[in-house]
Amino acid sequence: MKRNTGKQMTTTRAEAIKRYPKLGQLVTGEMKYGDGRSTLDVIDPTTGTTLGPVSMATEADADEALAAASAGFDVWRKMAVFERSKLLSRVADRIRESAEALAELLVLELGKPWNEALGEIEVAAGMWEWAAEEGRRAYGRVIPSRESNARQLVLVEPVGPVAAFVTWNGPLVTPSRKMSGALAAGCSILLRASEEVPACAFALGQIVYECGLPAGVLSVLSGDPVMLSSKWLESPVTRAVTFTGSTQVGKLLAQQAVAHMKRPIMELGGHAPVLVFDGVDVQTVVTRAVAAKFANSGQVCFAPTRFYIQRSTYADVVEAMTAEAKKVVVGCGFDPATRMGPLKSERRVRAVEDLVNDARRCGLRVTAGGRRLDRPGFFYEPTIVADATIEAKLSNIEPFGPIAALTPFDTYEEAITLANRLPYGLGAYVHARDFKTLHRATVDLEAGNVICNGWRATYPETPFGGHKESGMFSEGGIEGLRAFQNVKYVSLS
């Protein structure tokens, strides 16, 4: 099948804005508008102006979605697995067919460069494709019985209706990961879309229904997260909650879920270390590191953020990363020359400014960037901070922005201690020529995803989840399907 990652842009920002959709609430397969619902403005991060309003779900909407999920689950779980698989495959195809329209939404709402937006669309389509196939392989097993006239079986079944909450930095990928995994397992799902980037989640929901999903199996709402989480997690209808976002919010949701005996599937914050050992090709590592670091303007939970570099290589890496960061073209995502877009909000700009100002107060070297761009919108320069110490804020707080902190180390043990000293454990990266060093690091690093001599932390077919305060359970891969399944032991005699 043809992929869309090379699709040429045929629109302008002005034309895309005119096509920005009217947003409501997607319940029982239909968009609901008006009826006195309050609204919030969706902000274009490129200009700081309003794209349009998004309505906020009412308590009645939340209740209707719960009732729909209950009825939809009864229908969906009984549908033949192969029929569910065909539907999910159609969704993957439809996403690829809609690549240009979806890319417009990604660029408008998040500010992504066009080609980066197409990359996210292909990853999302791949998730649906993988889930369609893996959902056909929900295998149980037969346990040899101790009695000659008995049969012992292990069955896997859908856990039940799932409440899902997503953040704003992966407007298409994160909803796709949750929707496709839950639906492949046979669950219905209620998804709370981020009000900061709602159009992609609603467009995705509409695509799923266009592909034949029975009414009620999926609802997409935007609204007060406290109200929706209380409604959905306290209800006996839901059986699991999946959340992607900050550790602080994830802990609150996990506590609420456990209080009502719901399964908490949490993908939380990170502050990914990068260990660079002697002997690597510095320019190759740095070129790819800069691309990974500043993808999505650094607003990625598994983005490389804390670079620990062996001392004999350190000066070369600092110089090369500084030079590469200065080459990154920052601008509007509809401009073909742009390689990094804006941050999502004024709040994110201020958070980045606070980290850089603290670094300067600590006497650290800002070798590239370090300032907000003087233009409309929420643009900040790609920033390199050298000689970062453990006292600096950016060494301890996830930057979630275009900042890379560089620190030298002398020994392997020192590098591992620095990498593991924080409570986060989502992603970690290792670059070395020596296989023994790579092997040791995969064992010693406390992270759910350890990437050696590369930068791609997740694929549709691989599990994605964090250790320590970065999460519980995994999504993606066969593990992602299992997160939405119950195990049942059956004895027949």
Active-site positions read 267, 301
Compute the distance between CA of residue 204 and CA of residue 202 in angstroms, rounded to an integer.
Answer: 5
Task: Report in angstroms the alpha-carbon separations of 273 from 283, 352, 452, 455.
Answer: 19, 18, 12, 12
Is residue 485 within 8 A of residue 185, CB to CB? The reply is yes
- DSSP H helices, 405-447, are 412-420, 435-444
Whole-angstrom CA distances from 403 to 26, 294, 491 are 37, 8, 57
Q: What are phi and psi of 487, to 5 degrees?
A: -105, 130
- 370's tokens: 């370090």
Spatial contact of 72 and 216, defined as CB atoms under 8 Å apart: yes
Cα dihedral across residues 47, 53, 59, 60: positive or negative:
negative
Closest CA to 417 of 451, 393, 439, 441: 441
344 vs 195: CA distance, rounded Å? 12
Tokens 């590592």 label which residue? 285
Between CA 118 and CA 335 the distance in angstroms is 14
Token pair for 213: 């999903």
- N-terminal to C-terminal alpha carbon distance within the chain: 49
Place of tokens 């796709």: 176
CA–CA separation, 483 and 159 (whole Å): 8
Are 295 and 344 in contact by the 8 Å Cβ rule? The answer is no
Q: How far apart are CA 341 and CA 281, in angstroms?
A: 28
β-pairing, 189-192 with 25-27? unpaired
